[in-house]
Amino acid sequence: MTYLRRHTTPFIWTALALALCTGAFVGVRMLGAKATPIARVTYYTGDFRVQQPGRDAWKKAVINESLKSGEKVKTYDESRGEVAFADGSIIRIDANSNLDIVELKRDKAGQTAQAKVWSGKVWASVNKASKKTKFELESPTAVAAVRGTVFRMSVAEDMTTKVAVYAGEVKVEPMPEFYQNQRKKEGGRSGEIQGPQQVEGPKEVSFEQWVQVVKAQMEITINPDGTYGIVNFNPVIDSQDEWVKWNQLRDQARRQKLGIRDEEPKQE
């Protein structure tokens, strides 16, 4: 018995050490899985910068660095960048654009991604396969809520916002805070805006009441005074725009990489 104890004890300690190491390794892997970032910088050209919350300085972005709630992104002349989300969605930022990461959150209910475009152009491709994704893109004057679609948003210096949809649909509504502040500046007058161009006959609605669902090959323009209009655009002519062409080529390359086939047009 003494012989057995003397020779089995080292084996027991070795087995315990291996078990502890294995457990620690699994724990690290699980921790790493939980720490997977919701958003990260996946591509950029030129000068693409990030500002952390509470900081004045802007630092040059690093490929694959994670982005968090409260961070800001800025591009300069001849610069473009791409941010990928954990659910497969993509945001691309054109030159001379400013984007705030308002909220990034992931829980049992799914993933929430909310960003705000202060100026410039942004292209969004939202993963329609992820039903638990909440994706919102704001401008100073409007909010675009989407689930599974491809669209672009541009914000001019006077805060005129344009949203053009290429696939799926986008629900667009005014940003109440902006128009409330506008009314305060005007002495508290209750503003009235004209209805969309597609509605027959004149119609007056308040700033906060209108909501429009913008479908594929349609573009909505929201003016700083709250008026808006919707038009259809020609996708062939639109694709001649250099920013649009660049994004469509990147989307196509991304689909090929993921093995996603383009949907064939439905027959009437």
User: Would you say residue 242 lies in a domain?
Assistant: yes
User: Would you say residue 150 lies in a domain?
Assistant: yes
pLDDT in tens, the chain (268 residues): 554 455 555 555 555 455 454 444 444 343 444 568 899 999 999 999 999 998 999 999 999 999 999 999 999 999 999 999 998 899 999 999 999 999 999 888 788 999 999 999 999 999 887 677 789 999 999 999 998 899 999 999 999 999 999 999 999 998 876 766 665 555 554 444 444 444 444 444 455 568 999 999 999 999 988 889 999 999 999 999 999 999 999 988 887 887 766 554 444 3
User: Would you say residue 69 lies in a domain?
Assistant: no
User: Would you say residue 85 lies in a domain?
Assistant: no
Q: In this predicted model, what pLDDT tens digit does every residue of 59-75 receive, in sequence order?
A: 999 999 999 999 999 99
Instruction: Give the model's pLDDT for residue 197.
Output: 45
d(CA 246, CA 248): 6
Domain membership of residue 123 as a residue range: 103-258
- Annotate the chain with DSSP letters as a single string: -HHHHHHHHHHHHHHHHHHHHHHHHHHHHHHHHHT--SEEEEEEES-EEEE-TT----EE--TT-EE-TT-EEEE-TT-EEEEEETTS-EEEE-SS-EEEEEEEEEETTEEEEEEEEEEEEEEEE--TT-TTEEEEEE-SSEEEEESS-EEEEEE-TT--EEEEEEESEEEEEE-HHHHHHHHHHTTS---EEE--TTSSS--EEETTT--EEEETTEEEEE-TTS-EEEEE--HHHHTTSHHHHHHHHHHHHHHHHHTPPPPPPPP-
User: What tokens appear for 46 in the block?
Assistant: 């030129």
Instruction: Give the model's pLDDT for residue 14.
Output: 55
User: Would you say residue 18 lies in a domain?
Assistant: no
User: Would you say residue 62 lies in a domain?
Assistant: no
pTM of the model: 0.76
User: Would you say residue 265 lies in a domain?
Assistant: no
Instruction: Give the model's pLDDT for residue 147.
Output: 81
Q: How many domains does the chain have?
A: 1
Instruction: Give the model's pLDDT for residue 35.
Output: 63
CATH number, domain with residue 242: 2.60.120
Instruction: Give the model's pLDDT for residue 187.
Output: 56
